[in-house]
């Protein structure tokens, strides 16, 4: 009989295990807080019911705290059916939080990636802009006490709903498909077996500016719809025989129609049978499986798959009372710089030019990297900072780098002068003076809403039209001097040095 288990009538020793005591303490506290607004503390009151549930939870916790620590943290090794108590969590499981701030959502979007042809492609950078407008205005009808989509007597102006956001995506560079942000594609057709054999071997280079992926007027599954929205088509001819000339007779028409002249005995004569050449070149550009149009459609399909994953991720993390309005393609406002730079007499001009362009490009468009846990800890980041924000698939993002990559409202010439003066080559500063530095902007796909200008002090950027600045080394023109004597450099040599930084 001594082995019989019984329930003691005595109260447990710990107050945390005494239900009645806890309920009494709880009621005293509730009465103290609510005596001026509430008088019913009987069992039927929902607040008292909630208190009793809390008291029971505390008694259960108090009971568990009487166990030895090893029993709380691990299973009995002699137990047949082990239970995973899940008492231990990794930092990734317990320290991260759902995205809340714009910075959090930028990280979430930059973590989006898809696997295409053996390479990982995704969103290199994302900008989130609160929208000042919505799809439609709302109008308050104070007489009928309701909202309307049309102006009312009491509210003729109306208002836009707040809490909507616009997104700009910058995509990665693809090894196979080039820059996913560019809507310009090129192709080269080499003339073979033409009636006029002198034209054999001529290279016809075709460059097409296609519509951007966010153009709502284009059906990207329909070739005719894409072709009708082509912005420009330019032809260049290399290896032309002497006395021959070819051109597109109707450049406003996306379809190529060639005209040509050849000089015979000093007399220009029309080149015949060019319609045969039109057919094969148009087939190469618009119909061939590896032609320009099909490569463009492949690029669009990659972009759409990335956007689909980004949309899904945004939908999974959408805050209450907020929504996403528009997703826009990256539009580039090319920035050109010109000026005179005095450098060290022993400095290599091409290297200095490449370094200047590289540092200014990085200033205008800073890169944001993913780091492993050891790498970001090596940067001196605290655990609280490292695990702040959403859990990402590809590593950790340094908040300092992310902050530098926010959209710039303007570019100050003084900032660029400071960057140029700080240029170092092999650990030594090589720039002695900067004079006459100016900035100019060249917005791509400009419909006339952005003013193109050249300034000496401060260049305002078109962020309202969702443009981002990028340095153009082609449009820039820096002149270098050593002891007041001009020195030039080879552009190709400069580009080779630029890509090594």
The answer to whether residue 101 sits within a structural domain is: no
Q: Specify whether 128 is located in the same domain as 258.
A: yes
94 located within any domain: no
The predicted model gives 327-338 an average pLDDT of: 88
Q: Token digits for 83?
A: 């239970």
By DSSP bridging, strand 146-148 and strand 431-443 are unpaired
Q: Using H for helix, E for strand and C for coil, what is the string for 353-364?
A: HHHHHHHHHHHH
* Tokens, residue 375: 């790498």
Q: Are 189 and 62 in the same domain? A: no
Residue 227 placed within a domain: yes
Same domain, residue pair 291 and 152: yes
Count of structural domains within the chain = 3
In this structure, the answer to whether residues 347 and 459 fall within a common structural domain is yes
Q: What pLDDT is recorded for position 2?
A: 60
State the average pLDDT over residues 298-307.
Answer: 94
195 in the same domain as 241: yes
User: Looking at the whole model, is its pTM more than 0.85?
Assistant: no
Q: Is residue 90 part of a domain?
A: no
Q: 443 - beta bridge partners?
A: 333
460 with 341, same domain?
yes
DSSP state of 16: G
**How far is residue 351 from each of residues 336, 420, 436, 474, measured CA to CA in Å?**
19, 13, 21, 16
How open is the CA angle 458-459-463, to the nearest 5 degrees?
135
| Per-residue confidence (pLDDT) for residue 85, from 0 to 100 | 66
User: What is d(CA 4, CA 383) in angstroms, rounded to the nearest whole number?
Assistant: 53
- 185 lies in some domain: yes
Question: Do 69 and 142 share a domain, yes or no?
Answer: no
Q: What is the pLDDT of residues 228-244, one digit of tens each?
A: 999 888 888 888 888 88
Whether 82 maps to a domain, the answer reads no
Q: Do residues 341 and 487 both lie within one domain?
A: yes
Give the structural domain span for 31: 15-73
Same-domain pairing of 372 and 427: yes
CA dist., res. 177 & res. 302, Å (int): 10
User: Which tokens belong to 196?
Assistant: 């006029």
Q: How far apart are CA 195 and CA 188, in angstroms?
A: 20
As a whole number of angstroms, the distance between CA 212 and CA 220 comes to 10
Establish if 384 belongs to a structural domain: yes
Domain boundary among the residues 274, 298, 322 is at 298
pLDDT at 80 over 80: no
pLDDT in tens, 183-193: 888 888 888 88
* 260 and 141 in a common domain: yes
Q: Say yes or no: 219 and 157 in one domain.
A: yes
292 and 338 belong to one structural domain: no
Average of per-residue pLDDT values in the chain: 88
Asked if residue 105 belongs to a domain, the reply is no
Q: Is-contact 120 111, C-beta < 8 A?
A: no
Point out the domain boundary residue: 281, 298, 315: 298
Asked if the model's pLDDT at residue 339 lies above 70, the reply is yes
Which of 244, 278, 298 finishes a domain? 298
CA distance 331 to 334: 9
């Amino acid at each position: 009989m001594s082995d019989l288990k019984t329930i003691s009538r005595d109260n447990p020793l710990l107050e945390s295990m005494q239900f009645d005591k806890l309920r009494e303490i709880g009621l005293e506290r509730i009465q103290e807080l609510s005596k001026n607004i509430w008088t019913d503390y009987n069992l039927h009151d929902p607040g008292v019911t909630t208190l009793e549930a809390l008291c029971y939870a505390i008694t259960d916790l108090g009971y568990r705290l009487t166990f030895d620590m090893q029993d709380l943290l691990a299973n009995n090794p002699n137990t047949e059916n082990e239970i995973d108590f899940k008492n231990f969590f990794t930092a990734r499981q317990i320290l991260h939080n759902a995205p809340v701030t714009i910075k959090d959502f930028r990280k979430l979007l930059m973590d989006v990636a898809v696997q295409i042809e053996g390479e990982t492609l995704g969103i290199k950078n994302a900008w989130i802009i609160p929208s000042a407008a919505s799809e439609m205005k709302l109008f308050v009808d104070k007489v009928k006490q309701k909202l309307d989509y049309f102006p009312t007597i009491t509210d003729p102006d109306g208002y836009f709903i707040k809490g909507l956001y616009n997104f700009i995506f910058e995509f990665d560079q693809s090894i196979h498909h080039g820059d996913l942000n560019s809507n310009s594609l090129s192709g080269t057709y080499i003339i073979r077996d033409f009636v006029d054999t002198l034209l054999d071997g001529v290279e016809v280079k075709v460059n097409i500016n296609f519509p951007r992926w966010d153009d709502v007027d284009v059906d990207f599954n329909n070739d005719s719809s894409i072709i009708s929205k082509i912005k420009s088509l330019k032809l260049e001819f290399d290896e032309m025989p002497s006395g021959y000339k070819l051109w597109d007779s109707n450049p406003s028409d996306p379809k190529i129609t060639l005209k040509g002249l050849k000089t015979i005995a000093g007399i220009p004569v029309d080149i015949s049978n060019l319609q045969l050449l039109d057919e094969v070149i148009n087939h190469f550009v618009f119909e061939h499986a590896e032609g320009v149009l099909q490569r463009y459609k492949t690029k669009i399909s990659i972009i759409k798959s990335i956007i689909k994953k980004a949309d899904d991720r945004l939908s999974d993390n959408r805050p209450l009372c907020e929504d996403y309005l528009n997703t826009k393609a990256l539009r580039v406002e090319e920035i050109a710089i010109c000026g005179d730079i005095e450098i060290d007499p022993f400095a290599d001009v091409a290297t200095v030019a490449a370094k200047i362009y590289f540092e200014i490009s990085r200033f205008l468009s800073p890169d944001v990297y993913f780091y492993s846990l050891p790498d970001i800890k090596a940067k001196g980041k605290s655990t609280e900072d490292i695990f702040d924000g959403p859990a990402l698939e590809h590593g950790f993002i340094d908040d300092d780098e992310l902050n530098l990559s926010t959209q710039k409202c303007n570019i100050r010439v003084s900032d660029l002068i400071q960057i140029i003066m700080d240029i170092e080559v092999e650990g030594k500063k090589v720039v002695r003076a900067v004079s006459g530095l100016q900035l100019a902007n060249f917005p791509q796909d400009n419909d006339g809403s952005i003013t193109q200008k050249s300034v000496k002090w401060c260049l305002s950027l078109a962020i309202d039209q969702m443009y981002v600045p990028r340095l153009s080394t082609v449009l820039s023109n820096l002149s270098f001097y050593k002891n007041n004597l001009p020195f030039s450099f080879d552009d190709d040599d400069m580009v080779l040095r630029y890509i090594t930084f």
